[in-house]
Amino acid sequence: MVEKDTRRRTIHDVAKAAGVSISTASNALNGTGRTNAETRDRVKRVAEEIGFRPNALARGLLTKRSHAIGMLTNDTYGRLTLPMAAGVSEALVDHGLSVFLCATNNDPRLARLHIEALMDRQVDGIIFTATRLDLKPPVELSKLPIPVVYVFAEGPADNISFFPDDAQGARLAVDHLKELGRSRILHITGPEDYLAVRIRAAAYRESCGGGAEVLYGDWTEEWGHEAVDTVFSRAGEGPDAIFCGNDEIARGVIDRLRDLNIAVPDDVAVVGFDNWEVIAKQTRPPLTTIDMELKELGRRAGLAILGLSKGEDIPGGITRLPCSLVVRRSSGA
């Protein structure tokens, strides 16, 4: 019986199999030096055929880069960060960069420890993400000698920050309901101290008129139940559409409307905000909602940190990326 050769392949093996010197093989694999295209392609093909994987530490010493990015977040449950992390990875994977994901749990001490650990690993940059736009990032990030990009959080004025365009998303929701013939549109949303809540509420009022009603509460289904009870216990004509600040509130609204024998969408159309599919698709009826395009936010952040790590000049400031409307049955479209 012939034993399988399981030893780790080295640059020496690649050079020998490709019929080139070790320095030529190294230049071809790292994109350095003066290697013609034919030789570079042959070396890369041979490396793949024999199962060669470059030593990341040695590669870092050669290029002065670790080929790794840190991603720091306060999002314990990953609801926002995991889709963004998928976008970051999508942007970086073809460039040979890895992502270290670190959760701070809103603990400043833990944030400092993670930042120190990432710096010890000599990461090429850090992406900071948060669960709300107005959360203050750790001050240590502004003092680092490496690039930092902010997503769903606002960094210093000269840094790059990516936000979902909450105002545009709110207008999408209201315009959709108006196009369906709804005219008495109510907005039930989360806590007023959230910047995103205030931005969406302002856009809603701008679209529906200054007297349009906004009900502020918690990001919960229970608040959706309570808000519906409050509104439909009043005398007079109730709303024919409800725009909710997130999908959890929307599901609570729909469940309570059903309890009151108010048909969705026939009597009242409902639109959420988030496109959290585990909720939106399981709501009865499935929920029309606004998608914040979290994966695209992450992809753009990944491309930005990649460019900065290469020394490219990328202007700072906030970039707001458009949201999209995901139509399901709850709006009656």
Architecture of domain 68-164+294-321: 3-Layer(aba) Sandwich (3.40)
Helix/strand/coil for 264 = coil
Instruction: Tell whether the model's pLDDT for residue 4 goes beyond 50.
Output: no
Give the amino acid at 49: E
The CATH superfamily of 11-63 is: lambda repressor-like DNA-binding domains (1.10.260.40)
The yes-or-no verdict on residue 59 having pLDDT over 80 is: no
Q: 66 falls in which pLDDT band (50, 70, 90)?
A: low
pLDDT, mean over the chain:
89
Check: CB of residue 288 under 8 Å from CB of residue 242: no
Phi-psi region for residue 158, left (φ > 0), alpha (ψ -120 to 50) or beta? Answer: alpha
pLDDT for residue 233: 95
Residue 219 is predicted with a pLDDT of 96
Percentage, residues of the chain above pLDDT 70: 93
Q: Who wins on pLDDT, 131 or 290?
A: 290
Count other Cβ atoms within 10 Å, centred on residue 236. Answer: 4
User: CB-hemisphere CA count at 13 Å for 189?
Assistant: 26
**b/e 161-191 (16+ beta carbons within 10 angstroms → b):** bbbbbbbbbbbbbbebbeebebeebbbbbbe
CB atoms < 10 A from the CB of 131, how many?
17
Distance separating alpha carbons of residues 313 and 228, to the nearest angstrom: 51
Q: Does 15 have pLDDT greater than 90?
A: no
Tokens linked to 69:
């990015």
> Identical fold at 11-63 and 166-293+326-331?
no
Q: Where do the domains of the chain lie?
A: 11-63, 68-164+294-321, 166-293+326-331
Using DSSP, state whether 239 is helix, strand or coil: coil
Average pLDDT value for residue range 46-74: 70
pLDDT for res 157: 84
pLDDT for 62 beyond 50: no
Cis peptide before 265 (omega within 30 of 0): yes
Of 12-26, 162-176, 189-203, minimum mean pLDDT range: 12-26
Alpha helix locations (H) across the chain? 11-18, 22-30, 37-50, 56-63, 81-92, 108-120, 166-179, 195-208, 221-232, 247-259, 277-280, 294-309
Give the mean pLDDT of 205-216.
Answer: 92
* Token pair for 10: 């080295």
The phi and psi torsions of 228 (rounded to 5 degrees) equal -65, -45
pLDDT beyond 90 at 60: no
Question: What's the farthest any 2 CA atoms get from each other in the chain?
Answer: 87
CA distance 190 to 272: 12
Residue count (the chain): 333
56-65, 211-220, 240-249, 281-290, range with the lowest pLDDT: 56-65
And the tokens for 266?
A: 């026939």
More confident residue, 140 or 8: 140
Percent of the chain as helix, strand, coil, to the nearest 5: 45, 15, 40
Q: What pLDDT does 165 receive?
A: 98
> Do residues 104 and 110 touch, judged by C-beta distance below 8 A?
yes
The confidence score (pLDDT) of residue 28 equals 81
Rounded CA separation 77/292 (Å): 18
pLDDT at position 58 is 47
Task: Report d(CA 89, CA 270) in Å as an integer.
Answer: 34
pTM of the entire structure? 0.80
CATH architecture of 166-293+326-331: 3-Layer(aba) Sandwich (3.40)
User: Residue 55 has what pLDDT?
Assistant: 55
Ranges 89-93, 154-158, 208-212, 288-292, most confident = 288-292
Rounded CA separation 9/300 (Å):
35
- Mean pLDDT on 169-180: 98
Beta carbons within 8 Å of 113's beta carbon, 6+ residues apart: none
Q: In which band, very low, low, confident or very high, does the pLDDT at 21 lie, cut at 50, 70 and 90?
A: confident
Whether the pLDDT of residue 57 is over 60: the answer is no
pLDDT at res. 95: 83
Give pLDDT tens digits for 71-127.
999 988 888 889 999 999 999 988 888 899 999 988 999 999 999 999 988 899 999
Over residues 266-293, the mean pLDDT reads 96
Contacts of 153 (CB under 8 A, 6+ apart): 128, 129, 130, 132, 133, 135, 137, 161
Torsion of CA 321, 326, 327, 330, to 10 degrees: -110
